[in-house]
Amino acid sequence: MLNMTPDIDTRTRILLTAREMFHGRSYADVGIQEICDAAKVQKGSFYHFFPSKRELAMAVIDNMAEDWAYGFVAEAFDPDLPPVVRLDYMIDAAYYWQVAASDMEGRMPGCLFGNLALEMSTRDDVMRAKLNAVFNKAMDKFRVTLDEAVQNGTLAAMDTEATATAMLAYLEGIILLAKTRNDPKVILHLGPAIKTLRIELSH
């Protein structure tokens, strides 16, 4: 579990505790009292910041998306890197993220967004839409990279939006498979094939 320091405010403590528990287990498997106990807060404090577990989950998605966007994704999709190299960096980043999580938890947790999408998309349309927005932002990183590669002649013309969507789907798929096998190396083994994906322009 998280090693909470006294200077972490109560809301953040609840948020980070829930994020770790949702990621390592599931949304449905974690109760409010359990979150409060782990975060060392009273239920009254929980409801002061979050009217419901659902609202907490929405905040967790925002928090993780911010870390994701400004952390390893920002590094992998650094505009100073050649476009195709960014795809290699993305695979490496996904691998090392999962290795670090596996070392900490003893098992590979997979992608929090993918986990929640699988669990909640047929049960909560608002949460589904929020997760879809996160995936759309990720897809846009791939699309911008592909647009640059096509413009500079590194890659042939293609439907960059559709190809970006396919690349994101492939990445999420191999992370899910790696989680099922509890083996982050699946990402390294299958990841490079992401660069071979092409959706042709429709005529």
**What is this structure's pTM?**
0.91
Triad 19, 187, 127: Cα angle to 5°: 35
Cβ neighbours around 91 below 10 Å, total: 20
Structural domain range at position 185: 71-196
Same domain for 7 and 106, yes or no, is no
- The answer to whether residue 201 sits within a structural domain is no
Show pLDDT as tens, one digit a residue, over the chain (203 residues). 455 454 469 999 999 999 999 999 999 999 999 999 999 999 999 999 999 999 999 999 999 999 888 887 888 999 999 999 999 999 999 999 999 999 988 899 999 999 999 999 999 999 999 999 999 999 999 999 999 999 999 999 999 999 999 999 999 999 999 999 999 999 999 999 999 999 999 86
**Burial class (CB within 10 angstroms; exposed 0-12, middle 13-18, buried 19+) of 138:** buried
Distance CA 7, CA 69 (A): 25
The CATH number of whichever domain residue 126 belongs to comes to 1.10.357.10
Q: Are 65 and 135 in contact (CB under 8 A)?
A: no
